[in-house]
Structure 1
Amino acid sequence: MHDHIAEAVKKPDLISLEPDLVCLRFETMKIYSALGAVRHLLDSGAVKPGDTLIDSSSGIYAQALALACHRYGMKCHIVGSTTVDRTLRIQLEILGATLEQVRPSKNLRLDQELRVRRIAEILEANPSYHWMRQYHDSIHYLGYRDVAQTIEAEVPEGPLALVGGVGSGASTGAIAGYLRDAGRDVSLVGVQPFGSVTFGSEHVADPDMIIAGIGSAIEFRNVRHKAYDRVHWVNFDCAVSGAVSLLRTSGIFAGLSTGAAYLTTLWEKRRDDSRTYVFIAADTGHRYVESAYAQHAKAPDIDTLKPHEITSLDELRHPWSTTSWPDLP
């Protein structure tokens, strides 16, 4: 029996879609990150019950941090993107978290810079607040040790390929790291949107990109670039196709980053079928219904899509590009 809903919600499901193809499905993955980080801060004495934790979020991390604060008796303040919807706003309010949203912006860089700037202002006025720094602090790796142990226990022995959004680095990078530390042969495949500086695609815009959680227009300093073997840049339309195909073939209703990861996984599996492929479904598809799933009739068949293999970041192009990351100059 769980002591708190956060402990129940965080647990992922491993779903076998076909031989050597597994979906690691979360209701909301970042609860692992938030719970692990808050627990460590309390254990180390960096914060104490009743303190206020603050961070920026486009949605998923806001809920995760609010639940972690509720679990451990902390106060929570979120500086949110305009993508934080009414459903989440009401949840945060009832959980006791406070939320302020920056002014609307169609520019992802401006949206993220406004949030970080606002956090700096709040910290100057409230020096006792603790900034969680989900984009920068490696403390967010800690919670994913349990996920790696779940994979190690449930996925048969042998080489693995882990595929998922790079995000803040504290998901795919952390899980792969713990699996490698345990002796598992793991190829790590990172998924990025165009326009993200994390792996150098900031010069290729994607005006429809609403999957900010897997990449960023600002630097994420806790990404360990050398951990990644392959990188895929996937645009909005391809991510929609992947998400629709996954729902149609498996019944799994997940977010756009999952659609991009599923598309990527199928391609990688065709390239090298010597591994078991585990792709991450980081959240459910509910917040993407109007913006993405409603366009399902226009989504291209994923069998008609293929990536452009690049040898230089100058060659990046829509709708989908890929490379062996260590081989880039």
Structure 2
Amino acid sequence: MDEHIAEAVGRPDLIRLDDGLVCLRFETMKVVSALAAVRHLLETGVVRRGDTLLDSSSGIYAYALALACHRYGMRCHIVGSTTVDHVLRTQLAVLGAHLEQMGPSDDLKLDQKRRVERIQEILREHPDYHWMRQYHDDIHYLGYRAVAERVGRETGTDSLTVVGGVGSGASTGALARYLRERSPGVRLVGVQPFGSVTFSSEHVADPEIIIAGIGSSIPFANVTHTLYDTIHWVAFDAALAGSIDLLRRHAVFAGLSTGAGYLAARWERDRAPGGTVLFIAADTGHRYADSVFARHREAPRVEDLAPRTVTTVDDLALPWSRMDWNRSPAPATAAVR
């Protein structure tokens, strides 16, 4: 029996959708990393119960850290993106988390930069606060070991490909690292929005995509580029098609990054029959009800979509591009200084 709701929320479901296609579905994925990170900090004496934990978030991590703080008796301070919606703001308030939300902005890159600057101001004002550094501290890898062990037991690791949004780098990076301890041949496919610096697509604009979830306008230290075999860049319209098809065909109601991952996973599965492709569904589709699912009649058929295969990021183009990354190091624009 679970001792706290965070443990139940963080436990993923493994769903076989089709031959060779498996969904690793979370209600809220980052609860896994937040719980393990806070527990480790307490066990190692870095923080004590009652301390304040601080971080920036576009939404999912804010809820995850608030749950972890509730579970372990900590205070929680979040500098939130302008994209944090009313439902999440209300949940955070009732959970006792303090949210500072950035004002409206048409430029989500500027929103991310402002959040980072505000974190530094708060730390100068409150040096006793502990900055969780979800983008830069590999303590956030820890929670995925148990997930990787379960994936290994239930799907096997022979001819396994893992597909997921890159984001902060912790989820896909950790799963690949732990799975490769038992099977070095496990492939890792990262999904990115256009406009993200992480794999050098900042020169290609997609005005509709919300970059903060699976990409970044600033370098992230938790992204280990040498773990990734292939990268898919997916624009809003293509990700929307994936989300709609996933719900219509398999009844899985999940967010926009999941739609992008599902699209990439179908493509990878069809190119390598006989293997297993597992894609990550990081959250449910509720916050996308209006922006994505209400537009289901606009969605093209996924069968009519195919990525543009490129050999250099200079050739990236909307709505979908794919490149063999071949476990190369970080590009200069994504290297953390």
After TM superposition, the score normalised by the length of structure 2 is: 0.95
Q: Which moved more, 1:179-188 or 1:111-120?
A: 179-188
Query: What residue number does 1:279 align with?
Result: 279
Query: What amino acid is aligned across from residue 6 of structure 1 in structure 2?
Result: A
Alignment of 1:95-244 (within 5 A): 95-156=95-156, 158-183=158-183, 185-244=185-244
CA displacement, residues 218-265 of structure 1 (integer Å, 9 cap, x when unaligned): 111110001000000000000000000000000000000000000001
Query: What residue number does 1:250 align with?
Result: 250
Query: What residue number does 2:48 align with?
Result: 48
Please report the RMSD computed on the Cα atoms of aligned residues, expressed in angstroms. Answer: 1.2
CA displacement, residues 121-167 of structure 1 (integer Å, 9 cap, x when unaligned): 11100000011111111111111101101101111452200000011
Rounded Cα–Cα distance in structure 1 between residues aligned with 2:51 and 2:220? 26
1:192–1:232: 8 Å Cα contact kept in structure 2? yes
Query: What amino acid is aligned across from residue 284 of structure 1 in structure 2?
Result: T
Rounded Cα–Cα distance in structure 1 between residues aligned with 2:183 and 2:219? 31
Shift of 1:13: 0.5
Query: What amino acid is aligned across from residue 167 of structure 1 in structure 2?
Result: G
Rounded Cα–Cα distance in structure 2 between residues aligned with 1:151 and 1:325? 24
Rounded Cα–Cα distance in structure 1 between residues aligned with 2:156 and 2:186? 13
1:159–1:184: 8 Å Cα contact kept in structure 2? no
- The list of structure 1 runs, each at least 4 consecutive aligned residues, that deviate by more than 4 angstroms after superposition, is none
Query: What residue number does 2:14 align with?
Result: 14
Rounded Cα–Cα distance in structure 2 between residues aligned with 1:184 and 1:21? 20
Q: Which runs of 5+ in 2 are unaligned?
A: 332-337
Rounded Cα–Cα distance in structure 2 between residues aligned with 1:304 and 1:157? 31
**Are the structure 2 counterparts of residues 280 and 62 from structure 1 closer, same or farther at C-alpha, using a change threshold of 3 Å?**
same
State the aligned residue count: 329
Shift of 1:184: 5.7
Rounded Cα–Cα distance in structure 2 between residues aligned with 1:183 and 1:292? 37
1:163 aligned counterpart, secondary structure:
strand
Rounded Cα–Cα distance in structure 2 between residues aligned with 1:158 and 1:180? 11
2:158–2:183: 8 Å Cα contact kept in structure 1? no
Shift of 1:183: 2.8
Rounded Cα–Cα distance in structure 2 between residues aligned with 1:326 and 1:107? 32
1:322 aligned counterpart, secondary structure:
strand
Query: What amino acid is aligned across from residue 282 of structure 2 in structure 1?
Result: A
Query: What residue number does 1:312 align with?
Result: 312
CA displacement, residues 51-100 of structure 1 (integer Å, 9 cap, x when unaligned): 00000001100000000000011000000011111111111111110001
